[in-house]
Amino acid sequence: METKNLKDWKNELNICIRCAYCFEGCPVFKITDWETDSARAKIILAYGMLMNDIEPSQYIADKMFQCTYCRDCSERCSANVSVVDVLAAARADLVEAGFASETHKGMVKNVKETGNIFGDKEIKAPVQQGEIPVYIGCQYLARPNQTKMYLKILEKLGVKPLVKDEICCGYPLYALGFRKEFAEHKKKFLEIFPEKEIVALCPTCAAYIHEEYGKDVKHITQFILEHLPEKNLGLKATYHDPCDLSRVMNITEEPREILKKLEEERSSAVEELMRFF
């Protein structure tokens, strides 16, 4: 088997010291309790493929595609192995060897035909003219109420969001190993978004557009924080750190600063109210 994608990661594969730190937080390993489902095992399988010691098979493909790409393993790796990049290369080689699943093929077809991962022709971006390009992403296009909420927040902050008839960022195609299809999709994406600066709603899209396309991407939480000090939204919220936002873009404090700001505003409102009693 020709492993043209894994060849670029030969040094990374040699760096792995088999320490098993990657077992600790792996969500897949926590469910199965099988070492073969850990990041370490996937690295060993990838090395075996690279060195032609292991023939590609459905078994190997199943293991490689188990990963959720949460990047916890890379965070814990004492040797700083870029596990996700290695797995992405292994997946690409497996797809070219004919081990793509029908489900993944279907998702790629959906993106090519409808522009979104769901294959839903009814999903459309709320196109509007503006100044700041806002990328919504497949998940938020399927949640129109949340999307409208964010756009309204931006407008209240004095920002005019520019919303285009967008397409998927392409991350699913890349992550699932469909490199040829992704290369074509990437050209279309860049035609729609030639701008250097973009605000993105989805953490995964934000991280990927920044990494792959070299754009200056701000996640919506960053952008809101920049404009929030002079505005009072009067909102209450809870928050969970998305993997891509925290581990790829290192955005962890901005959302918390927003919550602090909202808490301070809420406390001030309570103090004002108490004056009447």
- The least confident of 11-15, 98-102, 179-183, 237-241 is 237-241
Does 142 lie in the same domain as 89?
no
Does 141 lie in the same domain as 216?
yes
- The least confident of 65-74, 123-132, 239-248 is 239-248
Does 49 lie in the same domain as 162?
no
Does 179 lie in the same domain as 88?
no
Question: What range does the domain containing 21 cover?
Answer: 6-96
| 107: nearest Cα among 175, 22, 161, 198 | 175
Domain count, the chain: 2
pLDDT at site 270:
38
Q: What is the mean pLDDT of the chain?
A: 89
pLDDT band at 9 (very low <50, low <70, confident <90, very high): very high
Classify the phi-psi angles of 265: left when phi > 0, otherwise alpha if psi is within -120 to 50, otherwise beta: alpha
Residue 105 predicted with pLDDT over 90: yes
Any domain includes 113: no
Does 158 lie in the same domain as 244?
yes
144 vs 260: which has the higher pLDDT = 144
pLDDT, tens digit, 9 for 90 and up, residues 108-144: 999 999 999 999 999 999 999 999 999 999 999 999 9
Backbone φ and ψ for 153, nearest 5 degrees, come out as -60, -45
| Cα separation, 59 vs 36, whole angstroms | 11
pLDDT band at 265 (very low <50, low <70, confident <90, very high): low
Does 153 lie in the same domain as 56?
no
Any domain includes 104: no
Any domain includes 122: no
Any domain includes 22: yes
Any domain includes 105: no
Mean pLDDT of 194-218: 95
Does 245 lie in the same domain as 151?
yes
Any domain includes 40: yes
pLDDT at site 207:
93
Any domain includes 216: yes
Structure-block tokens of residue 48: 């075996």
pLDDT at site 46:
95
Residue 107 predicted with pLDDT over 50: yes
